[in-house]
Amino acid sequence: MKRILVPVDFSDQSENALKTAAHYAKNYNYEIVAVHMLELSSAMMTNTNTTKETVLYLKLAEKRFDDFLDKDYLKGVKVTPILKHYKVYSELNKLYTEEKIDLVVMGSTGATGLKEFLIGSNAQKIIRYSDVPVLVVKDKSIENGFKNAIFACDFTDDSINPYKRIKRFCDVIGLNMKIIYVNTPGTSFISSAEMRNLVKEFFEKAKTNSHHIDDVAYVSDYTIESGIVNYAKNNNADIIIMTTHGRSSFSQIFDHSVTEDVVNHVNVPVMSFKILSKTASK
């Protein structure tokens, strides 16, 4: 990992993300790419009658952006500021590729109730479309790094490659990781013996040296989300790591992503790794 992207909207939450990214940039010699997305319409960008207004708007945004990045905690960190004239989250993946981004760190206040159902949080949208890992920071910055993580895994074949990527990430930054499997009532319920056999087969396919008895906690709860949240609270986890398939905004109405739900409803930082196609993950 060499480049960390931080979306900036000048809020306290985006500064929390910037401070968190600065910690890892200083300790691991990473570069920060700070991105501010302007809400400029196509008319403002092309209409000659509004050219002067647009130029003024851009200059004011650049000045505010420069002031926002003029922080003591960024001293010694290479920061590349980028202004973009769109706010379509599906387009960010193009930027990730162009700028060779390895990780996105962003702030969020979450979303609940009607707001969550209709539009979701910005974090949801970025997670939904991002092919690179996304770290969502909540009410405070993590200026001293993370120590204890839980990784919620379903131990399917689709999770093998994300597990390897997550394990490498944790090893690089010295993060202790506990893996959990959440067993819920209904059609997805399996016995204790079936859980342990599922995990054993998973590690064999992943070809790791992990010992499933020591590395995995088996949690029973009414929902996957509550199982993850309750385990994190009871075991002093300072970051939750999850995987996601990504989805379009329409499918979100009919089938909530557990990762997006957890991001919206917990105060603990959440990091998501997208389950990529076999071709993309090679």
Q: Do residues 95 and 87 lie in contact, with contact meaning Cβ atoms separated by under 8 Å?
A: no
d(CA 28, CA 30): 6
Fold match between 1-141 and 146-282? yes
Query: In whole angstroms, what separates CA 18 from the centre of its chain?
Result: 14
Rounded to a whole number of angstroms, the CA Rg of the chain reads: 20
Rounded alpha-carbon distances, angstroms, from residue 77 to 23, 27, 32, 107, 120: 9, 10, 7, 19, 33
| CB proximity list for 85: less than 8 A, separation 6 or greater | 37, 38, 40, 45
Residue 251 has pLDDT above 60, yes or no: no
In the structure encoding, which two tokens stand for residue 181, read together?
Answer: 């499997």
- Which residue ranges make up each domain of the chain? 1-141, 146-282
Between strands 239-244 and 79-84, the pairing is: unpaired
In the structure encoding, which two tokens stand for residue 71, read together?
Answer: 């922080």
Taking only the tens place, the pLDDT of each residue in 116-129 is: 333 335 666 777 77
In the structure encoding, which two tokens stand for residue 48, read together?
Answer: 């000659």
Q: What is the mean pLDDT of the chain?
A: 81
Under DSSP, is residue 111 helix (H, G, I), strand (E, B) or coil?
Answer: coil
Domain 146-282, CATH = 3.40.50.620
Give residue 173's identity as a one-letter amino acid code.
I
CB atoms within 10 A of CB 24: 22
Taking only the tens place, the pLDDT of each residue in 129-148 is: 788 999 998 878 887 888 99
Segment 48-55 mean pLDDT = 66
Q: Do residues 142 and 27 lie in contact, with contact meaning Cβ atoms separated by under 8 Å?
A: no
Taking only the tens place, the pLDDT of each residue in 72-84 is: 999 999 999 998 8
Taking only the tens place, the pLDDT of each residue in 87-100 is: 555 667 788 889 99
| CB proximity list for 140: less than 8 A, separation 6 or greater | 16
Highest mean pLDDT among 155-169, 197-211, 243-257: 155-169
d(CA 151, CA 240): 6
Mean pLDDT is lowest, of 39-53, 166-180, 204-218, for 39-53
d(CA 205, CA 163): 11
What top-level class would CATH report for the domain 1-141?
A: alpha beta
Please state the pTM of the whole predicted model.
0.82
Q: What is the pLDDT of residue 9?
A: 86
